[in-house]
Chain A
Amino acid sequence: MRFIDYKNVVPKTVIGLLVFLILLIPVFTTNVATLSMLILSGIWTVAVMGFTLVLRTGQFSLGQSAFLAIGGYTSAIFTVKLGWPFWPSFFLAGMASGIVSLLVGMVVLRVGNIYFSIITLALGEIVRIIAQQWEPVTRGTRGLILSPPPPIILGGFKINFEASPVPYFYFTLCLIAVTALILWQIGQSRLGRAFAGVALNPVLAEHQGMHLMKYRVIAFTVAGVFTGLAGSLYAHFLTVITPYVFGLWQSIQIMIMSIVGGISSLVGGPIIGTILLYTLGDYLTRVKTFGIQPLLFGAIVVMVLIFLPKGTGLVDLWGRFWTKVVWREEEYEPDTPDD
Chain B
Amino acid sequence: MPPVGIWIDGLIQSCIYMTMAFGMVLVFSILGILNWAHGQFYMLGAFVVYYAVTAAGIPFPISILLTGLLIAGLGIMVKKFVIDRVQGVLYVGVATISLIFFFEGAANMIFGMEDRGLSMVLSGVLDLGSFSVSYQKMAVLVFTLVVMIAMYIVLNRTKVGLAIRAAAQEPTAASLYGISVERLSLIVMGIGCALAAMAGSIMAPIYPINPFMGGIPMIMSLLAIVIGGIGSLTGAIVGGLILGFLNSVIAYYLSYFSEVVLFLLVIVILLVRPQGLFGAALK
Contacts and interface: CB of A to CB of B under 8 A. Distances in A.
Determine the main DSSP class of A at the interface with B.
helix
Nearest to A121: B219
B94 A309 contact: no
B93 A305 contact: no
Nearest to B102: A298
A202 to B, nearest CB: 10
B108 A290 contact: yes
Interface residues of B, number: 47
B98 interface: yes
B214 to A, nearest CB: 11
B263 A291 contact: no
B107 interface: yes
Interface residues of A, number: 46
Nearest to B100: A252
Residue from A130, A290, A292, A305 whose CB has the most chain B CB atoms within 10 Å: A305
A271 to B, nearest CB: 19
Interface string A277-305: 00000000000011111111111011001
Contact of B266 (A114, A117, A122, A256): A122
A305 B91 contact: yes
Nearest to B113: A290
Interface in A94-134: 107-108, 110-111, 114-115, 117-119, 121-123, 125-126, 129-130, 132-133
A255 B230 CA distance: 23
B88 A294 contact: no
A302 B82 contact: yes
B222 A121 contact: yes
Interface string B205-246: 000000100010001001101100010000000000000000
A295 B93 CA distance: 18
Contact of A129 (B99, B102, B211, B256): B256
Interface of B: 34, 82, 85-91, 93-95, 97-109, 112-113, 211, 215, 219, 222-223, 225-226, 230, 256-257, 259-260, 263-264, 266-267, 270-271, 274, 282
Interface of A: 55, 58, 60, 62, 107-108, 110-111, 114-115, 117-119, 121-123, 125-126, 129-130, 132-133, 248, 252, 255-256, 259, 289-299, 301-302, 305-306, 309-311, 339
* 8 interchain residue pairs of minimum CB distance: A291-B108, A298-B102, A295-B105, A294-B105, A298-B101, A301-B98, A291-B109, A294-B101
